[in-house]
A = this chain, B = another copy of it.
Amino acid sequence: MKGNAIVGQSGGPTSVINASLAGVFQACQMRGAEHVYGMLHGIQGLLDRKVCDLSERLSSFLDIELLKRTPSSFLGSCRYKLPAPEEDEAVYEKLFGILKDLNIQWFFYIGGNDSMDTICKLSQYGARIGSPIRFMGVPKTIDNDLMLTDHTPGYGSAAKYIGVVMKEIIRDATVYGTNFVTIVEIMGRNAGWLTAAAALARGEDCEGVDLICLPELPFHTDRFLAKVERMQKERASIVIAVSEGVKLPDGRFVCELSDDHRTVDAFGHINLNGTARYLSNLVAKNLPTRTRPVELSILQRCGAHLSSRTDITEAFQVGGAAAKAAFEGETGKMVALYRISNDPYQCTTKLVDIKDVANLEKKVPTTWINDAKTDMLPEFLAYARPLIQAELTPIYINGLTQHIVEG
């Protein structure tokens, strides 16, 4: 069986998407792919024939180790949604032409929902035209919102980042012993998996966050203020984890209440943001306390210096499992993580039909939230805690963590 493999990365960065790239690359090499190509900036770059030969870029064990520790997408990314074949067949003809020129037998795409949609369409079109190319999806997203997989590579490291920094923020916030409300805004527009991870901070050495607000539940500003007021009677420093995506009962995002939420750029893009800032101002105006908004911002997805080794290992594994499946003839599938047990934590991979994954979202079960709607229940902690275990020590050179960069 002769031929080449190609792999692309798509969607938003994570700390471990490059570990999946390493997994695909090494498994394809071992299984005898002549070349393993990388698409530069995903399917969009491929359409412009922007590819590299990965074996030229990744030529040593150190390169692979650095790749596992480098956040964001080594190959670059895109947010390109393939049109349906019936809308624009020319795109497919062009893509399959390029793949034929490159003698591609195995095609891998690492990403979230949109990327799985791409794999779904390509595999269906390929089947229709009788293409021999095997198309495999490799899951990736900090948001943990993919269906049919126990969790997604990327989530564990983001959750570990959130747990570690929430503990540090809580220490910082208590220092003066005076009334203080710190509101920390966490990513996840529709699914609250990342915000829920703030619950991991509580332990013998940490009082934990006082209130967790997920987008899975409607947000009532009056009840929120009442809760904060009540809590602050018992404790001066209150730390709140709030999803950027919390919505009012009428469906508007909370951040839409602020005066300046609509930042329109030169392209006319509207960015919704400022939930923590809005709530921080709201509390400051209504209660006798100082407040501070903190946005974890992009560091929660690119803070590779705090990766979970469990996450890195699984990200590598799903890459390898995708290669194994493709070489064994599977196509139109995504590699999913399947949890066997929580304690001891055991997790393996399985294949799921890509069309059952694409374009669907998995949310936090509301049965994992306590009755007072302030905190996560032990069920969530039992689910999330294994995913943040162990570390992959960063490689420090001259005082800073070392990465590998393309080109």
Contacts and interface: CB of A to CB of B under 8 A. Distances in A.
Contacts of A292: 298
A327 to B, nearest CB: 29
A167 B302 CA distance: 10
A236 to B, nearest CB: 11
B295 A165 contact: no
A403 B72 contact: no
Nearest to A402: B205
A260 B40 CA distance: 41
A233 interface: no
A194 B222 CA distance: 39
A348 interface: no
A175 interface: yes
Interface residues of A, number: 79
Interface string A163-176: 11101110110111
A265 B178 CA distance: 14
Contacts of A177: 40-41, 45, 76
Contacts of A163: 399-400
Interface string A77-117: 11100000000000000000000000000000000000000
Given A168-B304, A169-B299, A389-B399, A78 B290 contact: no
A231 interface: no
Interface string A250-262: 0000000011100
Contacts of A397: 203
Interface stretch (A281-289, A316-324, A333-341): A281-289
Interface of A: 13, 40-41, 45, 66, 70-73, 76-79, 160, 163-165, 167-169, 171-172, 174-177, 200-201, 203, 205-206, 258-260, 263-267, 269, 280-281, 284-292, 294-295, 297-299, 301-306, 308, 385, 388-391, 393, 396-405
Q: Which 7 residue pairs are nearest across A and B when measured between Cβ atoms? A: A265-B284, A388-B399, A72-B171, A172-B302, A168-B302, A77-B175, A389-B399
18 contacts: A72-B171, A72-B175, A76-B176, A160-B400, A164-B305, A164-B400, A165-B303, A167-B403, A168-B299, A171-B302, A171-B405, A200-B400, A205-B405, A263-B280, A264-B285, A265-B291, A292-B298, A391-B396
